[in-house]
Amino acid sequence: MSCRHLAAIDAGLGAVTTGHETGFTVDTSRVTFGPGSLAEVGARARGLGIKRAALITDRHLRKLPWFDEVESSLKAAGIDTIVFDEVAIEPTEESWEKAIAFANEAKPDGFISLGGGSVIDTAKVANLYSSHPAPFTAYINAPLGDGRAVPGPLAPHIACPTTSGTGSEVTGIAIFDWHAHRAKTGISSPRLRPTEAIVDPRVTHSLPAGVVAASGMDVLCHALESYTAKPYTSRPAPPSPLARPASQGRNPWSDMGCREALRLCGAHLADAVAGDLAAREQMMWAATLAGIAFGNAGVHIPHAMAYAVAGQVRAFHAKGYPELPLVPHGMAVAVSAPACFRATSATAPGRHYEAAQMLGADTIGAGEKDGGEVLATRFTELMKAVHIPNGLSGVGYSRSDIASLVEGALPQQRLLSNAPIMTDAGVLANLFEQSLAYW
């Protein structure tokens, strides 16, 4: 294989093996970004032909000025609005079913979601099941669910994120805790992607520092995992172009968003957590870019491990979050990330090195071969700077939990198969072990 050939693979520019993927698809919601953009919701909803909107939110957000702004904007546009504010902090089958029942009864012709990932995901699901009724298990990812393809378009959905993290406003993914199976899983389909995203960075101004830190770590991991995912050319070609998965692997489009998101995270995450409002707005833009990137590339091992870390929480409570045992998603992802990037580095050391540089790492005396190490070091520096706990032990786990954590992460094959390394139970056990503490 020539050097040029290797370079083409690294850039994801289509070095092709017979029977493998030759193209990638770019999908995203229409994005409106800017301070004050929440006031556009009504006009945009009317532009989509919505006459009767279901406004999905949670009880806490309903008391904030953003809710009044969105509701007034819808009213001013002459749109009949019905509110559902019972989204759970961590959605479950009960809370999803409640939202679906609400949508079936209210019969809206469009959805507006105002909230974090839980709210936006719940709106996606209420839209899906009221647009294409089916038994609850039908569209949920296999093997726990039936993995049925979404049969057609959904009603228009305008998503308005209120945290700078999940990227749910631009992805076709919805996640919940399926208590019956004691597992976190969800639905993944390009049809679930909101029609429009209205990203108003003012919403970040009043967020607790702990929320900015955890959601910032989520952004960082979306960008790093998408940037280091398997190249799209390494996947077997799908039987039909329409079956190309959203998690298609890293590609030139996702790389572009990842690079800028990483630069923004390196420059602004710590200041955003410290309360700098301009830095918080920059993190909102980073979240949007990283969301678009991972919605087109897919994340991998740290997110797969995070399902287990968040799902098996015992007593840990995070500052800035409700008084419940809870490892926030971004924190659950971050605690295993340094160990994972040390492990994936050998597949693309140059990319890991470049990512560390974009995050502002000190690389004096280091070279591409040290990519995993400099990236892990810079990542842990950022964890310390924004008060993320010291690895798994910092969120209440010990060595005796590893077997159960592996059991929780192993079913996340959609994510693990997007990783650049083969990740079986033994590899996961080793990664959990390496994630126990970093300093």
Binding-site residue total for Fe ion (CB under 5 A)?
Answer: 1
CB of 261 to Fe ion, least distance (A): 13
Largest distance between two CA atoms of the chain: 64
CB nearer Fe ion, residue 218 or residue 373: 218
Residue 434, CA distances (Å) to 270, 327, 366 in order: 25, 19, 22
Integer Cα distance of 235 and 24 in angstroms: 11
CB nearer Fe ion, residue 224 or residue 431: 224
Q: Which residue is nearest to Fe ion (CB)?
A: 218
Binding characters for Fe ion, 4-43, by CB under 5 A (x = yes): ----------------------------------------
Do the beta carbons of residue 178 and residue 301 sit within 8 Å?
no
CB of 245 to Fe ion, least distance (A): 17
Integer Cα distance of 179 and 74 in angstroms: 35
Part in contact with Fe ion (CB under 5 A); list of ranges 106-114, 212-220, 259-267, 389-397: 212-220
CB of 230 to Fe ion, least distance (A): 18
CB nearer Fe ion, residue 70 or residue 287: 287
CB of 332 to Fe ion, least distance (A): 9
CB of 211 to Fe ion, least distance (A): 14
CB nearer Fe ion, residue 50 or residue 265: 265
Residue 52, CA distances (Å) to 108, 156, 162, 379, 393 in order: 5, 11, 23, 46, 49
Integer Cα distance of 330 and 148 in angstroms: 29
CB nearer Fe ion, residue 90 or residue 373: 90
User: In the window 214-273, what residues touch Fe ion (CB under 5 A)?
Assistant: 218
Part in contact with Fe ion (CB under 5 A); list of ranges 35-43, 102-110, 173-181, 211-219: 211-219
CB of 286 to Fe ion, least distance (A): 13
Task: Identify the H or E element spanning 53.
Answer: strand 52-56
CB nearer Fe ion, residue 116 or residue 156: 116
Do the beta carbons of residue 279 and residue 272 sit within 8 Å?
yes
CB of 243 to Fe ion, least distance (A): 24
CB nearer Fe ion, residue 218 or residue 281: 218
Tell me the two tokens of residue 149.
């393809």
Amino acid of residue 428:
L
Residue 219: name the closest of 151, 280, 158, 159 by CA: 280
Integer Cα distance of 320 and 285 in angstroms: 22
Part in contact with Fe ion (CB under 5 A); list of ranges 94-102, 210-218, 284-292, 364-372: 210-218
CB of 233 to Fe ion, least distance (A): 25
Residue 121 binds Fe ion (CB under 5 A): no
Backbone dihedral angles phi then psi of residue 317, each to the nearest 5 degrees: -130, 135
The site for Fe ion (CB under 5 A) is made up of 218
